[in-house]
Amino acid sequence: MFEATALNARNARIQTLFRLLFGLMTGLLILPVLIILTTLIHEGGSVISYDFLFTSPTDGMTAGGIFPALIGTIWLVAVALIISVPLGVAAAIYLSEYAPENWLTRAINLAIINLAGVPSIVHALFGVGAFVLFLNFGTSILAASLTLAVMTLPVVIVATRESLQAVPLAFREACWNMGATRWQTIRRVVLPNAVSGILTGVILEVSRTTGETAPIMFTGAVFFTPFLPQGVFDQTMAMSLHLFVVSTQVPGVPEQLPYGVALVLIGMVLTMNSLSIAFRMHLRGRKKW
């Protein structure tokens, strides 16, 4: 009575087929990442050295290191974060915890999602118009970081809003019913439980900001400067733009050099990501309900 029927066998075959299919798709997904990483390490690994990381480019960009670009990218990302994280988190708290559920709130949410879909070159031109020219910041780290911040704000807002909404309503009700104001509730209960989710948004933002080229190439990043930035009104080199330059704009660059630049760029993003993920897991480990 427990033998497999023909129908059982057929269903089992179909099930196996789909499992294989989905597995294959997952494999295809990972493949490009693996190829990129192995190529970069294979081709660019030999370029990386202490001098490569900590000296300026020389001989018309065809030799030397990447130090000014490395420092420049750190500046750009840091200033962009300083601008966009407080702004984005505050906006998300308003939208999630205070805003009434009406057409205006829905319109704002829609606008934020659409903002995330605006091509980065459009952000770049907006940045030129708004920050470089209108606000007269010139081509500077400030203008470039503002442009990056505007571009990545939706990521921060959406991630923060979602992690706020993942905090159970029962916690808020418990607070309100003890006479806590909205802010007391947010400060003491909602935010501490949403931090790990907010951090995810920030990680995503860092990754994207580090690699962006278009928004900075007209607003603050330059092909070459031997000087390190001294403040937010200076121009700077940046890793992403530098990669573009040594790959396509300058003749006579040794073949290995761009691979080395790309490898360092990816390494920066991956390091930041792993640090943040580790921190997030640490936070999540303390959270239980």
- C-beta of 66: minimal distance to another protein in Å? 46
- C-beta of 186: minimal distance to another protein in Å? 13
- C-beta of 199: minimal distance to another protein in Å? 17
**Residue 179 or 251 with smaller CB distance to another protein:** 179
- C-beta of 289: minimal distance to another protein in Å? 5
Q: Which residue ranges make up the site for another protein (CB under 8 A)?
A: 100-101, 170-171, 173-181, 184, 188-189, 192-193, 287-289
**Which 3 state secondary structure label does DSSP give 64?**
strand
**Residue 51 or 173 with smaller CB distance to another protein:** 173
The beta strand positions in the chain, using DSSP E, are: 57-58, 63-64
Which of 285, 239, 244, 228 is CA-nearest to residue 265? Answer: 239
CA atoms within 13 A on the CB side of 212: 32
- C-beta of 160: minimal distance to another protein in Å? 18
User: What is the 3 state secondary structure string of 116-155?
Assistant: HHCCHHHHHHHHHHHHHHHCCCCCCHHHHHHHHHHHHHHH
CB atoms within 10 A of CB 137: 21
**Residue 38 or 184 with smaller CB distance to another protein:** 184
- C-beta of 17: minimal distance to another protein in Å? 44
Q: How far apart are the C-alpha atoms of 42 and 36, rounded to whole Å?
A: 10
**Residue 134 or 288 with smaller CB distance to another protein:** 288
Eight-class DSSP state of 85: H
**Residue 42 or 282 with smaller CB distance to another protein:** 282
Which of 188, 189, 170, 190 is CA-nearest to residue 96? Answer: 190
Confirm if 160 and 205 have CB atoms less than 8 A apart. Answer: no
**Residue 42 or 287 with smaller CB distance to another protein:** 287
